[in-house]
Amino acid sequence: MSFTKKWLRKDIQSISAYHVPNSDNFLKLDAMESPFVPNQDFQNEFTDFLSKVEINRYPNPSADEVVQSLRNLMGVDDSYGVLLGNGSDELIQILAMACGEKESIMSFSPSFVMYEMIAKFTRLNYLDSPLIDFDINLEEALNLIETQKPKIIFIAYPNNPTGNLFNREKIETIIKSTDALVVLDEAYYAYSNDTFLNDIAKYENLVLLRTISKIGFAGVRLGLLIGSKEIVSGLNKIRLPYNVNSLTQAACKFLLNKKDYLQSHANSIVNERKKLIESLKKYKNITVFPSQANFVLIKTEESEKFFNFLLEKKILIKNLSKMKGLMNYLRITIGSKQDNSIFSSALDEFFS
């Protein structure tokens, strides 16, 4: 028996590492990244800015300037605390590490896969409340909360991969019904018409997650948790020192102040989303689901064939068929106007 077979936790041996498909030379419409590449002047200015980073020194441990830039960009009140992570994935991990032995994390299915994966890595129980018609099954969820007493409830708002917002009243009923920390994951806030940002002051057990990955800067790796100062200072004890590196901090100081640039890109995505949904709706054998995010979920009997047809055309979308309950579902990230016209031509060629 090999060393690893003897040594590595059995439950980890039986799972696969998070799979990222090769996308070299593909039109990438699979991971909800921004399609916008900054122009040459922007890139020169950015490179100049980064060249001043003191790479021989540890980063600023509290990244105060980044926090301030995020507060300005997202309108986060000074009375709220902000905790930064190396992407919001790291913040999900920090939240899980705050739970005790044998405690549970709850979320909904289908939803963002990392809630369940991180529960597994941190040896917590995972409680799944299946959605009905892509919305929360309130009765079932409340029953699970009452009987299993989860420590944390993750709610992606808008949800990935369905793209919709769950019913707000149901979420508020859940927040009020439990002693669990409710984490509203607003990764797609820039494309949605609702937020729980103003509700943090109302509920002591509510925090928000956001990320800069979906607004243009997935490569920079920065997520934030917004909550009461007390919760943030408790969670901060678990955060590894220097988790936000100097290059990320410098990049954020430069990038996050470009409010108009970010807003115009968000507007363009929302516009393209509307157009893409119209193109998809032309075909009777495609069901298109409403979206408040920078992606659209569709269902078609032809999912496998269409996915492979796109691969041949060097277009990569996300095939969700292997996820529980999502047989024949595909998720398409909204690209630039040009990206979407390439996708739409392929769509017409396949379905006409």
Binding site for ligand PLP (CB under 6 A): 32, 87-89, 112, 156, 160, 185, 187, 211, 213, 218, 223
Shortest approach of ligand PLP to residue 104 CB, angstroms? 20
C-alpha–C-alpha distance, residues 303 and 350, integer Å:
11
CB closest to ligand PLP, residue no: 87
Task: Answer whether 203's CB lies under 8 Å from 179's CB.
Answer: no
Cβ-count burial of 340 within 10 angstroms (0-12 exposed, 13-18 middle, 19+ buried)?
A: buried
d(CA 306, CA 319): 10
Write down how long the chain is.
Answer: 352
Please provide the DSSP assignment of 41-103 as one string: HHHHHHHHHHTT--TTSPPPTT-HHHHHHHHHHHT--TTEEEEEESSHHHHHHHHHHTSPTT-
Q: What pairing do the DSSP bridges indicate for beta strands 104-109 and 125-130?
A: parallel
User: Is 152 exposed, middle or buried, given 0-12, 13-18 or 19+ CB atoms closer than 10 A?
Assistant: buried
Whole-number minimum distance, CB 290 to ligand PLP, in Å?
Answer: 17
3-state secondary structure of 296: strand
Nearer to ligand PLP by C-beta: 84 or 346? 84
Name the minimum Å distance from CB 222 to ligand PLP.
Answer: 7
Shortest distance, CB of residue 95 to ligand PLP, whole angstroms? 12
Is 81 or 163 the residue whose CB approaches ligand PLP more closely? 163
Residue 40: burial class (beta carbons within 10 Å; 0-12, 13-18, 19+):
exposed
Closer residue to ligand PLP (CB): 183 or 310? 183
Q: Based on CB atoms, which residue is closest to ligand PLP, 36 or 350?
A: 36
Between 153 and 346, CB nearer to ligand PLP: 153
User: In whole angstroms, how close is the CB of 21 to ligand PLP at the nearest point?
Assistant: 14
Three-class secondary structure of residue 83 per DSSP = strand
Smallest gap from residue 288 Cβ to ligand PLP (A):
19
- Report CA torsion sign: 147, 203, 161, 136: positive
Nearer to ligand PLP, 151 or 331 (CB): 331
Minimum separation from the CB atom of position 295 to ligand PLP (A): 9
Closest distance to ligand PLP from the beta carbon of 2 (Å): 32
Closer to ligand PLP by CB, 118 or 250: give it: 118
DSSP string, 95-119: HHHTSPTT-EEEEEESS-THHHHHH
Torsion angles phi and psi, residue 82, rounded to 5? -135, 130
Considering the complex, state which of residue 107 and residue 279 has its C-beta at the smaller distance from ligand PLP. Answer: 107
